[in-house]
Chains A and B, each alone.
Chain A
Amino acid sequence: MSDALLTTSELEVGYGGRAFLPPLNWQVRRGEIWAVIGPNGGGKTTILRTVLGLNSAVGGRVKPSAGLRIGYVPQRETLDSAVPARVCDVVRSGADRGWSFLRPARLVHDHAALERAMDDTDVRRIRTHSYRALSEGQKQRVLMARALVGDPSLLVLDEPTSAMDLTAEGALFELVRQLVEGRDLSVIVVSHHLGVLARYATHALLVDKDEELLLAGSVDEIAASRECVERFGHVLMAARRESA
């Protein structure tokens, strides 16, 4: 189990001290792509935020591996359109960790990481463009580059394709797949788009707070499970077969 990047033990998520899902015992290992799926309002983002430490856990704990670096790609429109920033400014802003913002020389040292992150996400050619003038797909690539500039081993994406058409969505997930291979990354992604998820994910976490359901396993296991079929029919299974 030494390749576990993130482990949760009896993690309870909820609000106001009340858990709305059963305790979660979960491990994310190197090279895995986890899709967090479930109905709207089912608790997917709450789980993600609790695992990231953005929400307080009702109980249990999250144990990251030593030195784990997480890159976070938030939902769209997280960056206020009033914020003035060029693409390179947004990407560079992801370089600071902990108290490193106190070191002015850090900006110079991060230059190579900045270039690599922009190359990997294909945003170098728009580096001087204003972030707020970009298309949704471009914005998401820029946020991806921001997450990568800190050289993370775990990339967490919260509904990254909610504002995209199918083509842009497929391109983004293809980018994620390339990053996993090229950078030895693990990924946790929340999305509604089961067809695309089934093609790229290796594992899935099915979440439904109304039924107090939490189910984790390989995508094939989850796709074949009664709980998944009840909620989504055979969409996941069919997409899986198609991609195979």
Chain B
Amino acid sequence: MIEKATLFFASWELFREAALSGAIAGFMLGLLGVYVVLRRMVFLSAALSQTAGLGVATAFLLAAWGTPAWIASPTLGAVAASLLTVYLLTRGNDRHVSRDSLLGAAFLLGSAGTIAIGSRIPQELHDVQTLLLGSAVAVSPEGFRLIVVTGIATVIWHAWWWRGFAAVTVDRDDAAVRGLPTRGLAILLLVSIAVAVSVTTRVLGALPAFAFSVIPAVAALRLAPNIPGALTIAAIIGAVGGFGGYFLAYLLDFPVGASQTILCVAMLAVVFAVKR
């Protein structure tokens, strides 16, 4: 085991992009997950990852039909489909239709649409799955750059705007009375979550994207004395889950996405055991 661990760091060039992608995605989605959990929208990231898959599948189909590459970009398709989902959720959310129902419909449309369009993509099923949902095992240089740029932009934005995002998450009515642009803040928060989830889904896969955006936040909300503390702790747990999960997967020959998810759950279990 120690030999294998030594070999991992000796061969760092081989694993660097995938391992760091997991850490960056975990940090970014861990932070955003605090808002996801506090707004009771844990299935938002599940729905977004599925609709992102539909966007990627549509891009591949368009490419197969000869559409120019800049239009048929899988990343563009993932982000566009996620943003469209957010738009429909914000437009369609009223007192007659619960947000859960809308998220369920988006999840099902994404899943069924991806399977249906995936059957028309001229690749093997395994390749299609990798193309649609990414692979945490090997991350391309383009995918790594995408994760780095999205991660840095998201963290800087949220470090600057956190008081506004927290205000609309914790007590939207009070924020509105104080004149904060609550609707704009709520939409921008969802947009940042949609972009982060779709990029992570595209590069690493749906399972780690969902895990990073829920589990670290649940643990952090148990530990932290306040929201800035929760944002920081969730980001750190997410980063440890992303990097450590990749490392464990290498050591134990586990699938990477599952290993990252299980490590996050293990950290959550420790937090619950320590802080009952």
Q: Which residues of B contact A101 (CB under 8 A)?
A: 161, 163-164, 167, 180
A74-B174, A80-B38, A84-B221 known; A96+B167 contact, CB < 8 A = yes
Q: With A79-B170, A83-B38, A93-B166 in contact, do A72 and B227 touch (Cβ < 8 Å)?
A: no
Q: Does B104 touch A at the CB level, under 8 Å?
A: no
Encode A107-147 as 1/0 by CB contact (under 8 A) with B.
00000000000000000000000100000000000000010
- Give A102 to B163 CA distance when docked, in angstroms: 8
The count of chain B contact residues (Cβ–Cβ below 8 Å) is: 26
B253, CB-defined interface residue at 8 Å: no
CA A177 – CA B132 in complex, angstroms?
A: 63
What are the interface flags for B145-171 relative to A under an 8 Å C-beta threshold, 1 for contact and 0 otherwise?
000000000000000110110110011
Closest residue of chain A to B159 (Cβ to Cβ) is: A104
Q: Report the Cα distance A99→B227, complex, angstroms.
A: 19
Contact of A97 among B179, B226, B230 (CB under 8 A): B179
Q: Interface on chain A toward B: helix, strand, loop, or mixed SS? A: loop
Give chain B interface residues in 164-200, CB to chain A under 8 Å.
Answer: 164, 166-167, 170-171, 173-181
Chain B: minimal CB distance from A76 (Å) = 12
B177, A89: Cβ atoms closer than 8 Å: no
Interface residues of B in 1-55 (CB under 8 A from A): 37-38
Query: Which A residue sits closest to B185, measured CB to CB?
Result: A101
Q: Binding site of B, secondary structure by majority: helix, strand, loop or mixed? A: helix
A38 at the binding interface (Cβ < 8 Å): no
A52: interface (CB < 8 Å): yes
| B221 A79 Cβ-Cβ under 8 A | no
A93/B177 contact (C-beta < 8 A), A82-B221, A102-B160 known: no
B229 within 8 A of A: yes
Expressed in whole angstroms, the minimum distance between the Cβ of A22 and any Cβ of chain B is: 25
| A198 to B259 Cα, complex, angstroms | 64
User: In the complex, which of the residues A74, A82, A97, A102 contacts B171, with contact meaning CB atoms closer than 8 Å?
Assistant: A74
Chain A 54-96 per-residue mask, 1 if CB under 8 angstroms from chain B, else 0:
1000000000000000101010001110111110010001101
A-B contact count (CB 8 A): 83
Contact B163 A86 (CB under 8 A): no
Asked, given contacts A93-B166, A146-B174, whether A98 binds B225 with beta carbons under 8 Å apart, the answer is no
Chain A residue contacts of B178, Cβ below 8 A: 70, 72, 94, 96-98, 150
A83 to B166, CA, bound (A): 10
CA distance A199 to B171 in the complex (A): 31
Asked whether B181 lies within 8 Å of A99 as measured between CB atoms, the reply is: yes
User: By the criterion of a CB under 8 Å from any partner CB, how many residues of chain A are at the interface?
Assistant: 29
Q: Does B270 contact A (CB under 8 A)?
A: no
Q: Closest residue of chain A to B175, judged by CB?
A: A96
Residues of A within 8 A of B269 (CB): none
Asked whether A53 is an interface residue with its Cβ less than 8 Å from the other chain, the reply is yes
- Given known contacts A84-B221, A86-B226, A96-B164, is B170 in contact with A72 (CB within 8 Å)? no
Residues of chain A within 8 A (CB-CB) of B38 are 80, 82-83
Separation of A72 and B38 alpha carbons in the complex (Å): 22
Selected contact of A80 from candidates B170, B174, B225, B226, CB within 8 Å: B170
Asked, given contacts A80-B170, A84-B229, A146-B174, whether A98 binds B179 with beta carbons under 8 Å apart, the answer is yes
> At the interface, yes or no: B71 with Cβ under 8 Å from chain A?
no
> Considering the chains assembled together, what is the distance between the CA atoms of A78 and B174 in angstroms?
10
Q: Does B266 interact with chain A (Cβ within 8 Å)?
A: no
Q: Which residues of B contact A156 (CB under 8 A)?
A: 177
Measured in the bound complex, the distance between the Cα atoms of B177 and A142 in whole Å is 17
Cβ 8 A contact of A72, one of B161, B177, B221, B229: B177
Q: Judge whether A72 and B180 touch: CB under 8 Å.
A: no
Chain B residues near A89 (CB-CB < 8 A): 225-227
Q: Whole-angstrom distance between the alpha carbons of A53 and B176 in the complex?
A: 8
Contact B174 A94 (CB under 8 A): yes
A97 in contact with B180 (CB, 8 Å): yes
Contacts of B163 in A (CB 8 A): 93, 96, 101
Give the Cβ gap from A101 to chain B, nearest Cβ, in Å.
Answer: 4
Residues of chain A at the chain B interface (Cβ within 8 Å): 49, 52-54, 70, 72, 74, 78-80, 82-86, 89, 93-94, 96-99, 101-102, 104, 130, 146, 150, 156
Q: Which 6 A-B pairs have the closest CB atoms?
A: A101-B163, A101-B164, A72-B177, A89-B226, A98-B179, A84-B224
- 23 contacts across the A-B interface (CB closer than 8 A): A49-B173, A52-B173, A54-B176, A70-B177, A72-B174, A72-B177, A74-B171, A74-B173, A74-B174, A78-B174, A79-B170, A82-B38, A84-B221, A84-B225, A85-B226, A89-B227, A94-B178, A97-B180, A99-B181, A101-B167, A101-B180, A102-B161, A150-B178
